[in-house]
Amino acid sequence: MPAPSPFLASNAGRVDAAADSVAHADAAASAVMPAGQASSPTQAADASDDRLATLLRSHRRLFVLTGAGCSTDSGIPDYRDRAGAWKRPPPIAFGPFMAEPLTRARYWARSMIGWRSFGQARPNRAHHALAALEAADRIELLVTQNVDGLHQAANSRAVVDLHGRLDGVRCMQCGARLPRADFQAELEALNPDWRDFVAPVAPDGDADLDGVDFSGFRVPAHAACGGILKPDVVFFGESVPRQRVLAASDALSRADAMLVVGSSLMVYSGYRFALAAAERGIPLVSINRGLTRADALLSFKVEEDCGDALARAVAATVLQPCGISDGA
Ligand SMILES: [Zn+2]
């Protein structure tokens, strides 16, 4: 049973009911339309493209919120299924991590193994498209619920890592932040017998490894003060640092539209921004395969792969001179 992962990210996944309704629409269209004109999937994608491209053309100060669906194409799995429910045991919570040495040993053993894949992940088309939007001066701020640092790797600069970054380690006693790469080397040196384990990578950079005795795994304390070291991410049971929430809220107050990419918004830390956008009356748009908690608030939803939808819409707008002429 996996668990040692940070907070709960979001999810991307197609809602079966929605997929069915598309299929039924196809069948109905085929029945009444001559062959060659019954291309509902294409038409649906075209319509989504149009609406998304129009949004990008007519809004210059986007507040973008990204979730796990943005990183699945980079090989980082998500936590939730198409309906927004857990598809694996929930990630580790702050209380047990701090209170139980064996829980920490299990977390860091799995994390040490998972990091070798997670740390190698590279940005995908969704990250690159969002970086292109920023380069075209269309993004007020990008707030991500992901902890993988892939937006920065794709050259996005105005990024708030709402839930922290897995490439850092924090001392819970003195507050020092250490590079994960150094801590990884230390873990591997202390636990040579564990280096050969191979296990599938789990959503937050750990690995699906179980059925082993974790009690022999050695986890060093912070050398300077003896404090407990924890990945620099927000675990369940912890609050998002106030500074990050304020920075995001401030940007949202200046934004002229909000775009949610690959998040079901099941976690309140992200959902609250959708509520705030709706309250302000600015367009709220989601690119997500599956249910989102904000469905009732959305101006429209693009039920497609994030990378596909974003790459097309960005190519059709900011990367072409004709798309830049439309003002906000
Ligand atoms: Zn310390």
Averaged pLDDT, 262-287: 95
Residue 21 falls inside a structural domain: no
Q: What is the pLDDT of residue 13?
A: 29
**Whole-number Å distance between alpha carbons of 322 and 65:** 27
Indicate which residues carry an active-site annotation: 163
In terms of pLDDT, which residue wins out, 24 or 319?
319
Residue 290 falls inside a structural domain: yes
Please tell me whether 145 is known to bind a ligand: yes
Residue 27 falls inside a structural domain: no
Q: What is the pLDDT of residue 11?
A: 30
Residue 198 has pLDDT above 60, yes or no: yes
Residue 19 falls inside a structural domain: no
Averaged pLDDT, 243-260: 98
Averaged pLDDT, 250-254: 98
Q: Report the sign of the C-alpha dihedral through residues 114, 91, 6, 103, in that order.
A: negative
Residue 193 has pLDDT above 70, yes or no: yes
In terms of pLDDT, which residue wins out, 139 or 8?
139
Please tell me whether 208 is known to bind a ligand: no
What is the whole-number distance in angstroms between the Cα of residue 8 and the centre of ligand 1? Answer: 26
What is the whole-number distance in angstroms between the Cα of residue 196 and the centre of ligand 1? Answer: 30
Mean pLDDT, rounded, of the chain? 82
What is the whole-number distance in angstroms between the Cα of residue 210 and the centre of ligand 1? Answer: 30
Q: Which two tokens stand for residue 127?
A: 């990250």
Averaged pLDDT, 213-225: 94
For residue 194, what are the domain limits? Answer: 46-323
Q: What is the pLDDT of residue 81?
A: 62
In terms of pLDDT, which residue wins out, 82 or 251?
251
Helix, strand, coil: what percent of the chain each, to 5? 45, 15, 40
Instruction: Give the rounded percent of residues in the chain with a pLDDT score beyond 90.
Output: 64
Please tell me whether 40 is known to bind a ligand: no
The answer to whether 42 touches 266, Cβ cutoff 8 Å, is no
Nearby residues of 191 by Cβ (< 8 Å), 6 or more positions away: 109, 112, 217, 218
What is the whole-number distance in angstroms between the Cα of residue 223 and the centre of ligand 1? Answer: 7
Q: What is the pLDDT of residue 196?
A: 78
Residue 6 falls inside a structural domain: no
Residue 258 has pLDDT above 50, yes or no: yes
Q: Tens of pLDDT along 91-130?
A: 788 999 999 999 999 999 989 988 888 888 999 999 999 9
**Whole-number Å distance between alpha carbons of 95 and 236:** 9
Q: What is the pLDDT of residue 79?
A: 66
The CATH number of the domain holding residue 187 is 3.40.50.1220
Q: What is the pLDDT of residue 183?
A: 96
Nearby residues of 182 by Cβ (< 8 Å), 6 or more positions away: none
Residue 236 falls inside a structural domain: yes
Residue 216 has pLDDT above 60, yes or no: yes
Q: Tens of pLDDT along 9-63?
A: 333 222 222 222 222 222 222 222 333 333 455 566 667 678 999 999 999 999 9
The answer to whether 313 touches 53, Cβ cutoff 8 Å, is yes
Helix (H, G, I), strand (E, B), or coil: what is residue 63?
A: strand
Q: What is the pLDDT of residue 212?
A: 82
Helix (H, G, I), strand (E, B), or coil: what is residue 235?
A: coil
What is the whole-number distance in angstroms between the Cα of residue 182 and the centre of ligand 1? Answer: 15
What is the whole-number distance in angstroms between the Cα of residue 243 and the centre of ligand 1? Answer: 22
- How many domains does one find in the chain? 1
Nearby residues of 158 by Cβ (< 8 Å), 6 or more positions away: 134, 139, 140, 141, 142
First to last CA, the chain: 49
- Which residue stretches of the chain are H helix? 16-32, 40-58, 94-99, 101-118, 125-135, 150-153, 180-190, 242-254, 268-280, 306-316, 321-324
Residue 249 falls inside a structural domain: yes
Largest CA distance in the chain: 75
Please tell me whether 288 is known to bind a ligand: yes
Residue 310 has pLDDT above 90, yes or no: yes
In terms of pLDDT, which residue wins out, 269 or 78?
269
**Whole-number Å distance between alpha carbons of 36 and 265:** 38
Residue 233's nearest CA partner among 151, 108, 147 is 147
Q: Tens of pLDDT along 142-179?
A: 999 999 999 999 999 999 999 999 999 999 999 999 99
Please tell me whether 320 is known to bind a ligand: no
Residue 197 falls inside a structural domain: yes
Please tell me whether 174 is known to bind a ligand: yes
The answer to whether 296 touches 278, Cβ cutoff 8 Å, is no
